[in-house]
Amino acid sequence: MTVGLYRAGDTVLHRLPVGVKLFGLAVLSVAIVAVRGPLLAAGFLALAVALALIGRLDLPSTARALRAVLVIAFVVALLQWWLFTFDRAVESLLDLVSLALLALTLTVTTPTTETLDAVVRWIRPLQRFGLDPERVALTIAMAIQALPGTLALAQETRDAARARGLGRSPRAYLTPFVIRVVARAHETGDALKARGLGD
């Protein structure tokens, strides 16, 4: 689960700082949503495709990553066509695909750790408001570490509920699951304190 969509590479987009990329995505996204008309929407899609090519996204994995978005975009476009006009439908379809492709390009060209490091860096000026970047970094690391464990805990408690013949009731496994998540967090907190890291 900790494996992301990132693909190693050495393109311009890979080398661009993550902050610039996120800012660029935000600006382009607002522009795509704000600007009307199917022609301009096609222009934005061309730009998105160009960026994806620069970032060397390969077709099969791009198609796989965008499959769900494409389905949604088509359904939405059909609705728009039915409710409004064909132009509106085309615009919606192109807009949604552009948005998804741009965001995917950023994800594919940016390693997870780089983004996380950047977040910790950006928090530094907030230190005076009591946000300690070191503690934020620690919390981020703990959350990533907790992902596979929490998934395993969910499956374990579900299996336990099933073994007792309670498999059909989500309550029978959700409560013990959440209780174990909370109990484990308390133990982790104690362990951090015991290691002198909470003071």
Partner 1 sequence: MPELRFEAAEVRVESPDLDGERTILGATTLTLTEQRIGIIGSNGSGKSTLARMINGLITPTSGRVNVDGLDVARRGAEVRRRVGFTFTDPAAQLVMPTCVEDVELSLRRTVKDRVRRKQVALETLARFGLAERAEVSVHALSGGQRQLLALAGVLATEPDVLVTDEPTTLLDLRNTRMVGELLFSLPQQLVLVTHDLDLVRRCDRVLVVEDGQVCYDGEADAAVEHYVRTVSEP
Partner 2 sequence: MTESPTSTDETPTTRSPRLDATDLALVAAFAALIAVCSYLAAIPMGGAGVPLTLQGFALLLTGALLGPLRGTAAVALYFVLGIAGLPVFAGHAAGPGVFVGVTAGYLWSFPLMVLAVGLLVKYVLRGRRTNPVLVFAACVVGVVINHVGGIIGMAVVLHVGLLEAAAFDAPYWIGDFIKAAVAAVVASQVHRAFPKLLARRA
Q: Which of 50, 79, 142, 178 binds partner 1 (CB under 8 A)?
A: 142
Q: CB nearer to partner 1: give 2 or 165.
A: 2
Q: CB nearer to partner 2: give 43 or 150.
A: 150
The one of partner 1, partner 2, none whose footprint includes residue 134, by CB under 5 to 8 A per kind, is: partner 1
> DSSP states of 149-195 as a string?
HHHHHHHHHHHHHHHTT-TT-HHHHHHHHHHHHHHHHHHHHHHHHHT
Q: Rule CB under 8 A: which of 109-138 touch partner 2? A: 110-113, 115-116, 119, 130, 135, 138
> DSSP states of 26-51 as a string?
HHHHHHHHHS-SHHHHHHHHHHHHHH
Integer Cα distance of 127 and 133 in angstroms: 7
Applying CB under 8 A, does 188 fall inside the site for partner 1? yes
Q: At 75, which amino acid appears?
A: V
Which of 87, 119, 127 is CA-nearest to residue 17?
A: 119
The one of partner 1, partner 2, none whose footprint includes residue 157, by CB under 5 to 8 A per kind, is: none
Residues forming contacts to partner 1 in the complex (CB under 8 A) are: 2, 134, 138, 141-142, 144-145, 148-149, 152, 184, 187-188, 190-197, 199
